């Protein structure tokens, strides 16, 4: 378990009480990542400082410019919380913000290559394809892309610099009324730092991997450069940074054809170069080259500006600007050669005596560009007790989203398609007030939190045919999709310590959801969808008991509704320019989550054991309805999915020897389909892409104040790539692998402001897959200098 509990480990019995002050950064979401109500700690701290009563609240550890981090099992917390800090992640191979989560308990990041904009998270019973079940915030600004619910709608991690992260909090399940039903999986709250004096920092990273698969045998390289400057001048503070990333990823997608049984004819072109392998269904399959997301070359520029001004001693205003621009091109390659050695891209060919008919678009390359802006405004009070309030508004503007794909694999600037998603984005507003009891309020004091939430997601997508796919304008209309969703919510929550060792946190959230302005145009026809609206109540409750000064027990239960996204309702799944039928009749996911947790603080370590169960009705996933003819594939409601599991974790400092820090966690999750009327063959089968086991272990040895070495393990067990569990050969291209990957890094700090690092991910060059192949052995070298 990743928590900043260093003082608690050194002095496990001296659990001093420090109120969680509203004066610290009160970002709505980041703040609540460690407390169901922002004032709950003060309620626990209001009792007299006797030996018994001081044990009721865990140690609070403070850090410069960062709100204090409390024990993840504070009695006022309604959920299991994991916290990752720079004290830990500085010794890991981190290039982009999502890398700080790579060893978190029962969580995995689907990051296919460095710079992958589609890096999704999977946690407990939520797969990496269910992106609308994960909330991600940066300083209270919403980064979750709920325009859809699949890989192409990953959180916009690019709005954060990895080196500017002061803390990342992850808490599991929908147990807090402060969060919407998208928290069914987990909520990630990123808090970035603010300077207290002048500082300037520059960092350069270079990385390379060697990749060998299906005849692709070469090195793929990249670099990342970051520079930041910040200061605090009186009441004004600022932090400005720029980041430039370049990388060439390994091949992601290959052109595959099932073994043909049709004898070749004299009219078929004899070719060589095809490779064969057994696919996830153990069927012999021909690999003819790379296609679609082939070898992707990406260029990304990022700018982040963060400003804060103290209007009074208790009132602070903030502004944030994030900018991200990307250009990419995906090169494709045909392995096939005719008798003269010329590449073959399409037509009827003879491979080993059998006929294959290759469509013209099989090896079609693609390219694109995107430009995103994130604007954020905040206004917060920070009184030690009594009432506090905050307002956080954000606007994520996709000013440019262009994807170009050729219609043929033949080199040149021929015809193709142009997909334009510019103008899409989302807006959010959070208003919140809280009451913190005074020190003299006594045990019966209530810590209250009330709030209002608003978000509006809007999607506009137009695809045109073009005569010049690389840079031509749209010549004729192909299709268009548009739609809007709007959610408004109010909530209330109370943390009540009603006995010296007992605490009860309870709350309720009311949400009203609307989908409107949905339309679809294909060729010369168009269809406007009717507006839909639903409202639901989501109650939550958590009971905590301090069994001893070191052992705390907690039981939590919560209901949550995850409403459909714009893409699921009106556009379906987008994969390049491929459109899967939309479904405007989707019902929201209805989840009942339960959790039992025990935490034991002993010696220099913290132990946690958790049992959890999620029963989700109307789970939304793209599947094929096999009960109708012809079959229909689109986003559908699955009657019921049940996920049960157990997690155990340990984190210790100076374990066995001074300077050795160890974190290890293991999780077992059994996620099964209980009801599915549209695909009866899936009932009783394991749910999509939920591994039975996840294991992580990280050991860092700080040999001296200047030198440290890290060795880490990531393991993911058996999981299925189909709802009917027919993928019997998962450890191959197109499948979803079981894998064990070892990472390592050596860090040297010549001075306080300089740092050198050398590392490697996937040390033993394991070839493993998430349909696409993951990177091979990747080496890192980095240097940093600061003022």
Q: Which residues contact 11 (CB under 8 A, 6 or more apart)?
A: 59
On whether residue 528 sits in a domain, the answer given is yes
Q: What is the DSSP string of 257-302?
A: EEPP-SBP-TTSEE-B--EEEE-TTS-EEEEEEEEEEEEEEEEEEE
What is the C-alpha to C-alpha distance for residues 542 and 504, in angstroms, rounded to an integer?
6
Of 775, 765, 759, the closest CA to residue 92 belongs to: 759
Predicted confidence (pLDDT) per residue in 578-627, tens digit: 445 678 889 999 999 999 999 999 988 999 999 999 999 999 999 999 99
On whether residue 1 sits in a domain, the answer given is no
Of 204, 228, 244, the closest CA to residue 780 belongs to: 204
Predicted confidence (pLDDT) per residue in 283-292, tens digit: 999 999 998 8
On whether residue 470 sits in a domain, the answer given is yes
Dihedral, 41, 613, 112, 161 alpha carbons, nearest 10: -10
Q: What is the extent of the structural domain holding 503?
A: 6-786
Predicted confidence (pLDDT) per residue in 190-246, tens digit: 999 999 999 999 999 999 999 999 989 999 999 999 999 999 999 999 999 999 999
Predicted confidence (pLDDT) per residue in 534-584, tens digit: 999 999 999 999 999 999 999 999 999 999 999 899 875 444 434 456 788
Task: Give the count of domains, the chain.
Answer: 1
Q: Answer whether the bond into residue 312 is a cis peptide, omega within 30°.
A: no
Q: Which residues contact 268 (CB under 8 A, 6 or more apart)?
A: 348, 349, 350, 355
What is the C-alpha to C-alpha distance for residues 146 and 515, in angstroms, rounded to an integer?
13
Band (pLDDT 50/70/90 cuts) for residue 62 is very low
Residue 33 has pLDDT above 60, yes or no: no
Q: Model-level pTM?
A: 0.89
pLDDT at 662: 96
Q: Please name the residue ranges forming H helices in 97-181.
A: none
Predicted confidence (pLDDT) per residue in 627-652, tens digit: 988 888 889 999 999 999 999 999 99
On whether residue 733 sits in a domain, the answer given is yes
On whether residue 124 sits in a domain, the answer given is yes
Predicted confidence (pLDDT) per residue in 75-119, tens digit: 457 889 999 999 999 999 999 999 999 999 999 999 999 999 999
Q: What is the CATH number of the domain that holds 83?
A: 2.40.170.20
């Amino acid at each position: 378990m990743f928590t900043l509990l260093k003082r608690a480990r050194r002095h496990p019995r001296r659990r001093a009480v420090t109120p969680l002050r509203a004066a610290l950064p009160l970002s709505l979401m980041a703040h609540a990542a460690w407390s169901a109500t922002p004032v709950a700690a003060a309620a626990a701290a209001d009792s007299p400082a006797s030996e018994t009563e001081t044990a009721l609240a865990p140690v609070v550890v403070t850090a410069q410019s960062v709100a204090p981090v409390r024990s993840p099992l504070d009695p006022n917390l309604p959920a299991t919380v994991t916290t990752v800090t720079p004290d830990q992640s500085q010794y890991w191979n981190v290039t982009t913000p999502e890398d700080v989560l790579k060893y978190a308990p029962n969580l995995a990041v689907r990051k296919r290559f460095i710079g992958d904009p589609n890096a999704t998270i999977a946690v407990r019973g939520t797969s990496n394809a269910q992106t609308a079940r994960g909330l991600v915030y940066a300083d209270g600004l919403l980064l979750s892309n709920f325009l859809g619910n699949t890989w192409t709608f990953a959180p916009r991690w690019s709005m954060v610099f990895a080196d500017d992260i002061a803390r990342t909090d992850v808490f599991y399940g929908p147990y807090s009324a402060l969060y919407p039903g998208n928290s069914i999986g987990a909520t990630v709250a990123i808090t970035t730092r603010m300077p207290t004096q002048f500082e300037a920092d520059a960092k350069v990273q270079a990385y390379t991997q060697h990749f060998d698969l299906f005849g692709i045998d070469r090195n793929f390289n990249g670099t990342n450069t970051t520079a930041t400057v910040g200061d605090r001048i009186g009441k004004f503070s600022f932090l400005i940074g720029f980041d430039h990333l370049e990388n060439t990823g390994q091949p992601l997608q290959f052109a595959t054809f099932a073994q043909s049984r049709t004898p070749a004819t004299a009219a078929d072109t004899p070719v060589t170069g095809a490779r064969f392998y057994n696919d996830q269904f153990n069927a012999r399959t021909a690999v003819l080259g790379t296609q679609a997301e082939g070898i992707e070359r990406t260029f990304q520029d990022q700018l982040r500006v963060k400003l804060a001004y103290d209007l009074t001693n208790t009132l602070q205003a903030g502004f944030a600007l994030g900018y991200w621009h990307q250009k990419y091109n995906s090169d494709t390659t045909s392995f096939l050669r005719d008798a003269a050695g010329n590449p073959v891209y399409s037509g009827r060919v003879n491979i080993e005596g059998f006929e294959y008919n290759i469509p013209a678009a099989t090896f079609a390359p693609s390219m694109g560009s995107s430009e995103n802006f994130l604007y954020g405004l905040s206004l917060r009070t920070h009184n030690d007790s009594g009432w506090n309030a905050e307002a956080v508004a954000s606007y994520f503007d996709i000013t440019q989203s262009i994807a170009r794909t050729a219609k043929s694999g033949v080199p040149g600037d021929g015809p193709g398609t142009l997909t334009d998603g510019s103008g899409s984005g989302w807006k959010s507003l959070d208003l919140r007030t809280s009451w913190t009891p005074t020190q003299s309020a006594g045990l019966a004091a209530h810590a209250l939190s009330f709030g209002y939430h608003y978000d509006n997601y809007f999607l506009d997508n137009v695809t045109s045919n073009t005569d010049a796919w690389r840079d031509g304008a749209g010549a004729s209309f192909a299709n268009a999709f548009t739609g809007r969703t709007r959610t408004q919510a109010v909530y209330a929550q109370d943390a009540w310590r009603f006995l010296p060792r007992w605490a009860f946190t309870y709350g309720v959230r009311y949400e009203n959801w609307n989908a409107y302005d949905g339309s679809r145009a294909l060729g010369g026809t168009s269809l406007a969808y009717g507006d839909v609206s639903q409202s639901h109540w989501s109650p939550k409750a958590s009971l905590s008991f301090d069994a001893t000064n070191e052992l705390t027990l907690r039981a939590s239960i919560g209901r949550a509704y995850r409403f459909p996204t714009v893409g699921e309702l009106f556009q379906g799944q987008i994969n390049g320019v491929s459109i899967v039928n939309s479904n405007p009749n989707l019902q929201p996911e209805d989840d009942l989550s339960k959790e039992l947790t025990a935490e034991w603080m002993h010696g220099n370590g913290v132990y946690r054991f958790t049992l959890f169960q999620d029963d989700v009705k109307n789970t939304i996933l793209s599947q094929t309805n096999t009960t109708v003819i012809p079959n229909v594939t689109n986003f559908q409601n699955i009657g019921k999915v049940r996920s049960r599991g157990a997690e155990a974790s340990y984190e210790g400092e100076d374990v066995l020897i001074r300077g050795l820090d160890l974190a290890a966690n293991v999780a077992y999750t059994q996620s099964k389909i209980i009801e599915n009327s549209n695909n009866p063959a899936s009932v009783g089968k394991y749910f999509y892409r939920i591994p039975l086991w996840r294991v992580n272990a990280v050991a860092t040895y700080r040999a001296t104040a200047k030198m440290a070495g890290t060795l880490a393990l990531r393991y993911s067990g058996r999981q299925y790539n189909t709802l009917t569990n027919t993928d019997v050969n998962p450890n191959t291209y197109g499948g979803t692998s079981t894998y064990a990957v070892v990472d390592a890094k050596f860090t040297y700090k010549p001075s306080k402001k300089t740092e050198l690092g050398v590392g490697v991910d996937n040390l033993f060059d394991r070839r493993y897959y998430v349909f696409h192949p993951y990177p091979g052995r990747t080496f890192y070298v980095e240097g940093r200098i600061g003022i």
